[in-house]
Amino acid sequence: QVRLVESGGGLVQPGGSLRLSCAASGIIDSMDTMGWYRQAPGKQRELVAVITRGGSTNYVNSVKGRFTISRDNDKNTVYLQMNSLKPEDTAVYYCNADRLPDHYWGQGTQVTVSS
């Protein structure tokens, strides 16, 4: 069983930055992909960023150029660096890991962008 624990969320002003961390109990190098999703109130959960075992990354258009996903295999941790934050980035952010056919989720961390 893989356990994912997110941290790093909080309240930040527009234009500010946050770095989310996702610590995994398992070996993340064994995961096919790891990613970050978010869910705003009244909206569906959406994929924000994903990184494959090979290191390829992909982002939703709304965060391209502002967010960066990365991984540290030695620490079994995946990060999401978020810069130039906007109020529309406000959501609960969830870490995800896929080792097909299994999918694992963290408990989520709240990010609020407000002045």
Q: What is the pLDDT of residue 64?
A: 98
pLDDT score of 1 more than 90: no
Q: Which two tokens stand for residue 103?
A: 């999918």
Q: What is the pLDDT of residue 90?
A: 98
Find out whether 51 and 40 touch, Cβ atoms under 8 Å: no
**Rounded distance, CA 99 to CA 95, Å?**
14
Burial 83-108 (b: 16+ CB within 10 A, else e): eebeeebbbbbbbbbebeeeebebeb
Q: What is the pLDDT of residue 83?
A: 98
Q: What is the pLDDT of residue 27?
A: 78
pLDDT band of residue 30 (cuts 50, 70, 90) is confident
DSSP string for residues in 32-51: SEEEEEEE-TTS--EEEEEE
Work out the average pLDDT over 22-35. 86
pLDDT score of 5 more than 80: yes
pLDDT tens for residues 60-113?
999 999 999 999 988 999 999 999 999 999 999 999 999 889 999 999 999 999
Higher pLDDT, 20 or 2: 20
